[in-house]
Amino acid sequence: MSRHALWWLATVPLLPLALPLAVHTRRTALRLPIAQGEPVGVAGADLPGEPLRLLLIGESTVAGVGVESVDLALASCLAGALAERLRRPVRWRACGENGITAAQAHERLLPLGLAEPADLALLVFGVNDTTHLTTSRRWVQSLAGMAEALEGQGCRVAFSAVPPLQHFSALPWLLRQLMGWRASLLDRELQGLAQRLGALHCVLDLPFEPAYLAEDGYHPSALGYRQWADGLAERLIPSLQRPV
């Protein structure tokens, strides 16, 4: 029996409890706006050398939900962390949309990402595909399509691991367990895809702290984005220091 089938086998008997919880959570959840400001910038502008062109494509975390300004969001924080470690400027762009799945992003956000050349693209997905119950096949196909299109333009591609929904305090305990389990299944598929494509899968091995979440209990706080960005930078640097 596949791991996904086992998840369904465990979940279906719990649906009479889980569905009302999900409906109530959706109705009562605090909804935060995307970060303010233009989703482009340069980190380390005073450093020497040609800027590294960094592109992020993804869901609400790429749009900066959870913080007020794009300067505090993931793309800007990651650009700063990379510039500090590489000792060169990093020009970043963020193509994010709140609530989007990987399949929707393939249609709507990928063309925006391809509009300008990039040296490194980080794809940040998983939360919405977990909660929307996206099939593993559609999940992998959508991400593979984006990665292959970006690589076709000479861009290195990396994937950020699916976030740990079991720690999202906005979700009731039962939903945290079920969605956290499902997120881990999608992340396993993502690791396999990265290996097949020769892309990097960026696991973030950090002890989870409540302060990493914004007031909605669902998106990262400013501290959460910084910690996430630092972890991503540590995993990306070795591949950036190798020749193409």
Domain residue ranges of the chain, discontinuous segments joined by +: 3-240
> From CA 54, how far away is CA 38, in angstroms rounded?
15
Please report how the helices 74-86 and 222-240 are oriented relative to each other, as an axis angle in degrees rounded to 10.
40
| Inter-residue long-range contacts of 207-215, CB under 8 Å, 24+ positions, other chains counted | 208/164, 208/167, 210/169, 213/66, 213/167, 213/168, 213/169, 214/32, 214/65, 214/66, 214/67, 215/30, 215/32
> From CA 145, how far away is CA 123, in angstroms rounded?
12
Among the CATH numbers 3.40.50.1110, 3.30.9.60, 3.30.70.360, 1.10.443.10, which is that of 3-240?
Answer: 3.40.50.1110
Give the three-state DSSP class for 227: helix
The closest alpha carbon to 146, from 60, 72, 223, 57, belongs to 57
The 10s digit of each residue's pLDDT in 114-151 is 999 999 999 999 999 999 999 999 999 999 999 999 99
pTM of the prediction?
0.94
- Phi first, then psi: give them for residue 170, nearest 5 degrees: -70, -20
Q: What is the mean pLDDT of residues 157-163?
A: 96
pLDDT at 244 over 70: no
